Structure formats: structure tokens, C-alpha cells
Amino acid sequence: MTDNPARTARLGQNQYGKAETRVVRITREGELHHIKDLNVSVSLSGDMEDVHYFGSNANVLPTDTTKNTVYAFAKEHGIASPEEFGLLLARHFVGTQEPIRRARIRIEEYAWERIGGPDARHSFARTGGGTRVAQVVHDGERAEVVAGLKDLTVLNTTGSEFRGYRKDRYTTLPEAYDRILATDVSARWRYAWTGAEGEGAPDWDLCYRESRRHLLEAFAQTYSLSLQQTLYRMGARVVESRPEIEEIRLSLPNKHHFLVDLEPFGLENDNEVYFAADRPYGLIEATVLRDGAEALIPADLTTL
């Protein structure tokens, strides 16, 4: 069955899979326990014309099977990092299912920290320092790994200005010489590594920790004349410090803090009391590249 029954239409890009499979893996070393908490989404594509045109499921691996594979791999292989676990899954689906030509695995990792003092062994609390994310794409020949984080809320109480901007008849915003700068950092970085034979994989956990550290330090250490400037400094510091990273895409919503007018109460507001507005908000986005690198991270990936 190969003919298209709809002669005036044809099938375009498509994929299918199981979204948001939650898996928690506990590793027990006697009384000392370790926890990995992931949200895994699998998308598969390949020879899928017949199922779309004729409803033939002969080439379709059930999405329930992809869910079961996530659980089985968590048991059989453990979870070392989101990137490594995603690569195992992607290679499995492409390598064992002939109709599947491409697998995309998206993973969020929710961090836990030990509680209960220095002897804590099996008690944990969820941390609020952002969510680690990774996307792995494998087509049977090469891999592409994009990793990063989202929902990392940061704030500078000073060291930020916004002035000298263009104005027109609709501009009412006063220039700010000392303002709060706050944002929720969403960052995705692409590794140069492609999984070619003989090419050693990066240390995924180390690169995540160091990239996160560079993002935070650049935010804290930049005297900001604009959020765009801060974004570039954050991205440039990661690319310049981590040779395994080719590009980084950042999405920074400007979480506005407005001074409250206290004059009606006979009080002076010396940059002390603010109203935190959640919307509308400015949205600043850009990609920072290593010299010679090609921009490959989709513009909308930071919103996923």
C-alpha cells in the first residue's frame, strides 16, 4: 500500500510516541539511597505513510510499548544522567525497529536533596533551583544532544539600569538608573558531540553543573544596562568556558518589579517596596554561538 488516496494532499513531517512518562529510580547501596526522578517523552518517526493513508499499523510500535521500555531500561540500565538515558532509548528504538528511522527523546529531571543532617541516607526534599532538561535525537548514524535547564529564577536587587531607549508618543516608561532585574532562565545548549565512532562522550553531569554555574555567575557579576546585554554575557561565558558546547539559546522573561507609590501615605519609597508583576512581561531571547558554529537549536525549543 503506497498510493496516496487523497490525490490533492500529501503527508508531511510526522511523529508519534508517548509523552511524559514519569519514572523514579531508587538505587540502594545498603542504607544509603540515591534517587533519579525523570519525565520522559518519546517521539518516533520513519516509514509511517501507510498508517496515515490507510490505517495500517504494521509499522507502528505501540506507544504503550515505548512507555514500558522507559521503565524496563530504568531497571536494566539504571539512570546515570538524562543525556545518557535518552541516548540509550533513542538508539534502542532506531536499532531494533526497522521502520523507525529517527527517535527523539525529551527528558526533564527533577532534583532532590538529602535532608536529615550529615547522616541522611534515605530522606529527600525537592529542590527549587530549576529543572534540568535534555533532548536526544538519533537517526541511526549520528546523535544530536541538546541539554539545559528551565524555571531557574534569579534576581539582582541592584546593578541594573534601563535608559537611553527610543521613545515615541506612546512611551510612558520612566528611565531607570537603579532597578531590580529578575528573570526565569530557560537555557538550551547543543553539544558538538555526535556519537561518531571513537568520539568520547562528554561528562554530561559535569557539563551541566558547570554550565549552570557559569550562567548564575554571569548573571550576578554583570552590571546590566539591558537584559539583552545580560543574556549575551551569560551565553558567552558558557560557550567560552565549555569547549564541548557549540551554541546556547536563552529565553529570559523580564519579571518586572515596579516601585510602589507611597506618597499618599506620607512615606518615601527609596527603592525599598516593589510590586512584582507577573504579566505582561518582556521576553528576551537570543542564541550565542561559538565562532564558526552553525545555529541548529530551534527557536521554540526553550518553550518546551
The catalytic residues are 18, 63, 256
C-alpha cell of residue 244:
564541548
Return d(Cα 278, Cα 296) in angstroms, integer.
31
* Paired strand residues for 154: 183
Q: What's 138's DSSP letter?
A: E
21: helix, strand or coil: strand
Contact 106, 135 (CB under 8 A): yes
Pairing of strands 282-289, 245-254: antiparallel
Return d(Cα 111, Cα 31) in angstroms, integer.
20
Cβ–Cβ contacts within 10 Å for residue 216, how many? Answer: 16
Q: Which residue has the cell 520522559?
A: 40
C-alpha cell of residue 300:
521554540
Contact 77, 88 (CB under 8 A): yes
Helix (H) or strand (E) run with residue 77 in it:
helix 63-77
Return d(Cα 118, Cα 107) in angstroms, integer.
31
Return d(Cα 178, Cα 171) in angstroms, integer.
19
Between the alpha carbon of residue 304 and those of residues 36, 170, 187, 198, 301, the distances in Å are 21, 33, 11, 32, 5
CA-CA-CA-CA dihedral for 155, 161, 163, 169, to nearest 10:
30
